[in-house]
Amino acid sequence: MAGGDEVKEVRNQQVLARDYISAIPEESDMYLNTSSTIKLRVPDDDDCQEAMLLKNLYLSCDPYMRGVKHSDEAASSTLEDRIVFFATDKPITGYGVAKVLESANPKFKQGDLVWGMTGWEEYSIITATDSLFKIHNTDVPLSYYTGILGMPGMTAYAGFYEVCSPKKGETVYVSAASGAVGQLVGQFAKLSGCYVVGSAGTKEKVDLLKKKFGFDGAFNYREEPDLDAALKRFFPEGIDIYFENVGGKMLDAVLPNMRVHGRIAVCGMISQYNLEQPEGVHNLMHLVIKQARMEGFLVFNYYHLYGKFLEMVLPAIKEGKITYVEDVVEGLESAPAALIGLFAGRNVGKQVVLVSRE
């Protein structure tokens, strides 16, 4: 770009982190900055050789977006994708859908739509553009690229198909089943000829599971004084596959109900994230008795399968074989409460923040 050009400077509202956060964020850990501005161009800086200027359209609230404890931080330093989501006075970092306003990366051009890591603000300069995916199919809601067609979709796909290797006729249990990932795991399980039961925390969500997503059974875990009895009611012959989203007491109830050679894909443990110390899990000996496998996974290692995933899921969406429920709030100012609500289970379906329609 010619240095002498007059560059347009516009308002750039941002959701900033107040402090370094070491736990589940609270609303007061974030604040809206309405006075910030941005020059609508990719800077000439050295670290911007492949940078892009994005206009953010949708932002995603995901359970992984929480503070990292010092010990976890050390542990996660071995990960390829060590991301700090909350850095003091910086915009929150998360997945989103955006439009390319300018690109120094030759793989993208102005007007392209992309999804991937962006900032909680109206416009973002992204230097790590390799982690952005170009959106080719726009005959589906764009917000789907924060959910069914984005990271949560790939998470459900990788965890269910790659980690659990489901077989027709097997029994599948999904916790947090109406969430961004769970609702898809349940529908994938039905498409694979499995029997699937999900749990969630409100009647509304349980109804969604049964009426909208076609689960064979569903229950409200808050209304079950005895989780073991609830699982035995739905799985008298036991569970072949457990898609683990919650951890703690639920995992402890599941373990004795696993079948021989059962598989547990550990996607997350959202019930544990706001505890000082995670709950103890007592029934791990059942892994031996049942010769069962429990495997943690991160979606980052499965993105090479994204093309294959789209080939399966796009037709399924268009033919109405898979449906997806989103909980969309409007405006950056609504984003902090939406993120907090996720950890309290307030969202119904995938939590999305609409920043701009185009």
* 53-61, 130-138, 200-208, 291-299 -> range binding its own copies (CB under 8 A): 291-299
If one asks whether residue 282 binds its own copies (CB under 8 A), the answer comes out as: yes
Taking every pair of C-alpha atoms in the chain, what is the biggest distance, in angstroms? 74
Give CA–CA dist 31/163, Å, rounded. Answer: 39
* Structure tokens that stand for 23 in this block: 């736990």
If one asks whether residue 294 binds its own copies (CB under 8 A), the answer comes out as: yes
The neighbour count for residue 27, using CB atoms within 10 Å, is 11
Give CA–CA dist 226/169, Å, rounded. Answer: 27
Rounded to 5 degrees, φ, ψ at 184 are -80, -40
Q: Which is nearer to its own copies, 29 or 252 (CB)?
A: 252
CB of 157 to its own copies, least distance (A): 16
Give CA–CA dist 153/149, Å, rounded. Answer: 5
If one asks whether residue 7 binds its own copies (CB under 8 A), the answer comes out as: no
Question: Helix, strand or coil for residue 307?
Answer: helix
CB of 126 to its own copies, least distance (A): 25
Q: Which is nearer to its own copies, 6 or 80 (CB)?
A: 80
If one asks whether residue 269 binds its own copies (CB under 8 A), the answer comes out as: yes
CB of 79 to its own copies, least distance (A): 7
- Based on its alpha-carbon atoms, the radius of gyration of the chain, rounded to whole angstroms, reads 21
Give the one residue of 277, 304, 357, 358 binding its own copies; rule: CB under 8 A: 277
Give CA–CA dist 98/124, Å, rounded. Answer: 9
If one asks whether residue 229 binds its own copies (CB under 8 A), the answer comes out as: no
**Cα–chain-centroid distance for residue 296?**
15
Q: Which is nearer to its own copies, 135 or 292 (CB)?
A: 292
Say if CB 90 and CB 120 are below 8 A apart.
no
Give the one residue of 111, 288, 319, 357 binding its own copies; rule: CB under 8 A: 288
If one asks whether residue 138 binds its own copies (CB under 8 A), the answer comes out as: no
Q: Which residues have CB under 8 Å from 81's CB, separation 6+?
A: 298, 300
If one asks whether residue 69 binds its own copies (CB under 8 A), the answer comes out as: no
* 52-60, 72-80, 184-192, 217-225 -> range binding its own copies (CB under 8 A): 72-80
- The site for its own copies (CB under 8 A) is made up of 71-72, 75-76, 78-79, 238, 247, 251, 256, 259-260, 266-269, 272, 277-298, 301
